[in-house]
Chains A and B, each alone.
Chain A
Amino acid sequence: MDIQLLANLAYVVSAVLFIFGLKRLGSPATARQGNMLSSIGMLIAVIAGLTAEGIVDFKLIAAGMIVGIVIGALAARLISMTSMPEMVALFNGSGGAASLLVGWAALYASDGSVFTSVTIILAILIGGITLTGSLIAYGKLSEVIGSGAVVFNGQRIVNSLILLGLFYSGYMLCMDPNPESVWFWAVLGLSLLLGIMAVIPIGGADMPVVISLLNSYSGIAACAAGFAINNNILIVAGSLVGASGIILTNIMCKAMNRSLANVLFSGFGAVKQAKAIEGEVKPISAQDAYYILEAATNVCFVPGYGMAVAQAQHVVKELGEILEKNGAEVSYAIHPVAGRMPGHMNVLLAEADVPYEQLVEMDEINPRIENVDVAIVIGANDVVNPSAREDEGSPIYGMPIINVDQAKTVFVLKRSMASGFSGVDNPLFFGENTRMLFGDAKESIAGVISEFSK
């Protein structure tokens, strides 16, 4: 039997396994199995790929794979759950790099047809944007570079010039698909530059959108590489990933009530508050917090990025268990854009052994927030800011929030009175029913726990 036909049939099997794998991701109970199925699909695809026509030399393949296995396995094992966004950013970048390189190498074997040339250029372009964009996103997330938005005068003009340059050099490269030509280097350089330019104007708090979008790009890049080398499985798998990233991007944008264009181009600056906030901040001690919590029958934790920074997930869970033993109903309400990537908080709480039934979404908790005796806000700010609901002049007006201000009592754990990443003041802190627990979130909660054990 023809080996090429067998390889293509194997690709069909792996596509089916990818699809079942993603389907099983529909529930936490079956998700692990799904990931396993998907990895079996990948194994089959890799073996089939090795049988492709024209492969005669396995030395370099083996070398590349060994390097990749070592780096991948070490990274997966050593990374802490708090740093997951950085890790995903780097993986996005490495996916982009792989597609870029496949496109580049394909240029040497190109048949010269316009269709092939266009797809090669797309693979290089999208791969390049994904690579450098992800590196910048990584830099911002790990705070190697400042996490603020970088906006300068004439940014749009510079970007338009890059785009024009890309179109022109892409067109010239299409006419003469030669990897030695200057137009190739222009396409490569401008793509890498565009990736940098695309991500620098985006601020730290908008990172969930950027990571999702780059995730999508890494899929689309694989898809383009698939067209460039005529490979079905790259197209199928790449578009599954592309679709996944786009859906997540969309969810994140909706959760911030902003359009994608607004996130990408406008560099969310601090805007003057339309309404002055009146009221008084009421700080409390761990002991006061204990008295209130001791009497509470319904407690809801609302975590944000601050919980990840303080590494407070384990003490939060400990307090949650104590409260449960004390007879309270405990839940964890998670806003879609809490943290630095979609689902970030869920993973941290899962790491601390919080059962997934207790993790509730914003739409689930808001209708019953009035029954919550104490809402404990840990390192979240904008996602619980009532001016998003009430103050039309606020830059975050219209963003759906967790309405903790409607709970009977709100505890806010905060380092100081500084405003959130968006730079918007939060009237929640001045609310009648709000109590502030100043200090490191981990220490504050540990303090409350020690009150319980007294």
Chain B
Amino acid sequence: MEIVFLIFILVLSIFLGFELISKVPATLHTPLMSGANAISGITLAGAFISAGAAMTVDSEFAKYLGTAAVAFATVNVVGGYLVTDRMLAMFKSKKGRS
């Protein structure tokens, strides 16, 4: 049954994603992509489990794999949000210009 729930979530979020993203104007497509990069760093939440697991069941090697995953995902999260913010700060309105 759990599989069905997960697929349910998947399908609904895909539809939601299409609705949301199709409203983003062309001028913001680059920040949209770098912002999406940041969100895909959510893998971090999954990487923790392998990097910090107890030694009993898992091999030592799996922990290192998890650690590398943590590093890669953190690059995405930190780099993605910062660079998106840097870009969006540059988009100024005519009124906002001194």
Instruction: Please report A residues at the B interface, Cβ cutoff 8 Å.
Output: 18-19, 21-23, 25-29, 31-32, 35-36, 38-39, 42, 45-46, 48-50, 52, 54-58, 60-61, 63-65, 67-69, 71-73, 75-77, 79, 81, 84, 87-88, 91-92, 94-95, 97-99, 101-102, 104-106, 108-109, 115, 179, 211-212, 215, 218-219, 221-223, 225-227, 229-245, 247-248, 251, 334, 336, 341-344, 346-347, 350-351, 353, 355-359, 361
Task: Give the chain A neighbours of B90 by CB distance below 8 A.
Answer: 81, 347, 350-351, 353
Instruction: Please report B residues at the A interface, Cβ cutoff 8 Å.
Output: 2-3, 6, 9-10, 13-14, 16-18, 20-55, 57-59, 61-94, 96-97
Majority DSSP secondary structure for residues of A touching B: helix
4 closest Cβ contacts across the A-B interface?
Answer: A68-B74, A243-B17, A64-B70, A343-B29
Q: How far is the CB of A419 from chain B (nearest CB, A)?
A: 26
- List 19 A-B residue pairs with CB atoms under 8 Å apart, sorted by A's residue number: A35-B35, A38-B81, A60-B67, A64-B47, A72-B77, A77-B86, A84-B30, A84-B34, A92-B37, A94-B73, A94-B75, A101-B50, A102-B66, A226-B46, A227-B10, A341-B30, A343-B26, A347-B90, A350-B87
Closest-by-CB residue of A relative to B70 is A64
Known contacts A49-B48, A346-B27; is-contact A109 B76 (Cβ 8 Å): no
Q: How far is the CB of A112 from chain B (nearest CB, A)?
A: 13
Asked if B40 and A218 make an inter-chain contact with CB atoms under 8 angstroms apart, the answer reads yes
A358 to B26, CA, bound (A): 13
Task: Give the chain B neighbours of A218 by CB distance below 8 A.
Answer: 37, 40
Asked if B50 and A102 make an inter-chain contact with CB atoms under 8 angstroms apart, the answer reads yes
10 other A-B residue contacts (CB within 8 Å) besides A343-B27, A356-B27: A22-B24, A36-B85, A42-B42, A54-B54, A95-B41, A98-B44, A102-B47, A226-B6, A244-B17, A248-B33
Task: Give the chain A neighbours of B73 by CB distance below 8 A.
Answer: 68, 94-95, 98
A28 to B32, CA, bound (A): 11
The answer, among A18, A64, A99, for a CB contact under 8 Å with B39, is A18
Q: How far is the CB of B39 from chain A (nearest CB, A)?
A: 5
Asked if A25 and B28 make an inter-chain contact with CB atoms under 8 angstroms apart, the answer reads yes
Closest-by-CB residue of A relative to B20 is A22
A236 to B33, CA, bound (A): 17
Known contacts A98-B41, A115-B3, A234-B46; is-contact A56 B52 (Cβ 8 Å): yes
The answer, among B16, B62, B76, B89, for a CB contact under 8 Å with A72, is B76
Task: Give the chain A neighbours of B47 by CB distance below 8 A.
Answer: 64, 98, 101-102, 105
Asked if A61 and B76 make an inter-chain contact with CB atoms under 8 angstroms apart, the answer reads no
Q: How far is the CB of A214 from chain B (nearest CB, A)?
A: 10
Task: Give the chain A neighbours of B3 by CB distance below 8 A.
Answer: 115
Closest-by-CB residue of A relative to B61 is A108
Q: How far is the CB of B5 from chain A (nearest CB, A)?
A: 9
Asked if A240 and B16 make an inter-chain contact with CB atoms under 8 angstroms apart, the answer reads yes
Asked if B32 and A25 make an inter-chain contact with CB atoms under 8 angstroms apart, the answer reads yes
The answer, among B28, B61, B63, B64, for a CB contact under 8 Å with A346, is B28
Asked if B66 and A105 make an inter-chain contact with CB atoms under 8 angstroms apart, the answer reads yes
A29 to B91, CA, bound (A): 8
A248 to B41, CA, bound (A): 19
Task: Give the chain A neighbours of B86 by CB distance below 8 A.
Answer: 76-77
